[in-house]
Amino acid sequence: MKTLHILFIALFASLFVLTSWTAAEYYSPKENTGDILLGDWKPSNGRSVIRISKGETSKGQDKNKYYGRIVWLKEKNNADGTPRLDINNPDDAKKSDKILGMTNMRELEFVGDKNDLKWENGNIYDPNNGSDYSFEMTMNKKNTNLVDGRGYIGVSMFGRTDTWKRLVKKGK
């Protein structure tokens, strides 16, 4: 009888530990899966490279969201050698801003999980036409070096998708 009592207590304790471990595993914060998006990306036209990073509070950005900055342009200067400026911007005060170094992707939020790599609720600015679009991205978990970015006005169904390729340093 005493053996049965000890066995029951051991079984109950094991069940309690297993349940606690499973609950902690489920509810504890994990490495941010959304950070798989961090890095340098080249849109399909090959004319620029966008560096995606987490927001910096010192720049007034949300540290939990993703931002993209133009770090390379195929044609960074005009024909006369002067830097390309944001001349198509509807805000006159920004028309003299350089395109190289500009943050053109803002506030993208990871809304997926490790099985559904998806970012939404962001915006992307196109300096070629001065337009700002709602923006979302999806990544195929089988090939994390490709991501589909979709810019749209209003409803996602009426947008345009572009595939970006991650730039990977040789030897990595």
| For residues 138-156, average pLDDT | 94
Element (H, E) at 110: strand 103-110
Q: pLDDT averaged over the chain? A: 86
CB 76 within 8 A of CB 83: yes
Q: How far apart are CA 75 and CA 43, in angstroms?
A: 15
The answer to whether residue 5 scores a pLDDT higher than 90 is no
- Residues of the chain with pLDDT > 90: what percent? 74
What's the CATH code of the domain at 72? Answer: 2.40.128.520
At 32-85, the pLDDT tens digits run 899 999 999 999 999 999 999 999 999 999 999 999 999 999 999 999 999 999
Q: If DSSP codes are grouped into helix, strand and coil, which group holds residue 128? A: coil
Spell out a b/e string for 141-157, using b for 16 or more CB atoms within 10 Å of the CB, else e.
eeeeeebebbbbeeeee
Q: Are residues 1 and 50 in the same domain?
A: no
Residue-range definition of the domain harbouring residue 3: 1-30
Q: Are residues 99 and 112 in the same domain?
A: yes
Q: Are residues 104 and 20 in the same domain?
A: no
pLDDT of the residue at 169: 80
pLDDT of the residue at 31: 62
Q: Are residues 15 and 48 in the same domain?
A: no
Residue 172 lies in a domain: no
pLDDT of the residue at 15: 37
